[in-house]
Structure 1
Amino acid sequence: MARKMKAMVACGSGIATSTVAANAIHEIFQELEIDVEIIKGTVPEISEKADEMDIVFVTNCYREEIPCPVVNVTAFLTGIKKDKKIAEIKNIIVSLNEKING
């Protein structure tokens, strides 16, 4: 059975913009029929939780090195190049899922 992926969505406060982004990301996982557990948090929490995550989505710049991919999802808030960002996220999720679940 396929392992559920773990994703974190982080923004400045861990509340407002991460909720908008988390909903959009959840829809992408559903469309791809990939199980995911999404947690929301703040940017400072990323380094604490990165080891447990398969992927991290951020609503602003994040430059630290962590052991999983980091994807900027500002496009979900601005609407600018949103379709291109969704396509990029789908590619990343699919290849990650293949890596995790063979």
Structure 2
Amino acid sequence: MAKRLEILVVCGNGAVTSTVVLNKIKDALQKEGIQAKITQKRVAEGAQALESKKFDLAVSTAGQNFAQDSDVPVLNGVPFLTGVGQESVISQIVELAND
């Protein structure tokens, strides 16, 4: 059985782009029967959010530099905006949920 994931979604301003990504992740995980709590933040707040140690993974449309001092895996969120490679990222999230 898949565990409940805590996911951080990060974009430049923590508003529109992260909302699009959040909704696509949420829909994909619901189809897979995976529960997740998804939090969105601005990239400037990303490092501090990861310090809380409560996130299983982060998905970012603004690069990975904010997470360089963290052990939390950061996945590229751009495929959720372009559609190219989106299934691959979803598969990675599902795999983390099933570990």
Moved beyond 6 Å, runs of 4+: none
Q: Which residue of 1 aligns with 2:35?
A: 35
C-alpha separation in 2, matches of 1:46 and 1:96: 20
Measure the CA separation in 1 of the matches of 2:29 and 2:41. Answer: 19
2:54 is matched with 52
User: Matched residues in 1 for 2:40 and 2:6: separation?
Assistant: 11
Q: CA deviation at 1:46?
A: 1.6
SS in structure 2 opposite 1:52? coil
Looking at structure 2, the residues matched to 33 and 52 of structure 1 have their Cα atoms a distance apart, in angstroms, of 21
Cα pair distance change 1:2/1:21, threshold 3 Å: closer
User: What residue in structure 1 maps to residue 64 of structure 2?
Assistant: 62
Structure 1's unaligned 5+ residue stretches are: none
RMSD: 1.8
| Greater relative contact order, per chain length (Cα 8 Å cut-off, separation 6+) | 2
- The structure 1 residue matched to 2:77, chosen from 63, 73, 76, is 73
Q: Is the 8 A contact 2:29 2:94 kept in 1?
A: no
In 2, the alpha carbon distance for the partners of 1:73 and 1:38 equals 13
For structure 2, the residue ranges without an aligned partner over 5 or more in a row are: none
TM-score normalised to the size of structure 1?
A: 0.80
Shift of 1:68: 1.4
Structure 1 residue 59, shift from structure 2 partner: 1.1
How many Å apart are 1:72 and its aligned residue? 1.3
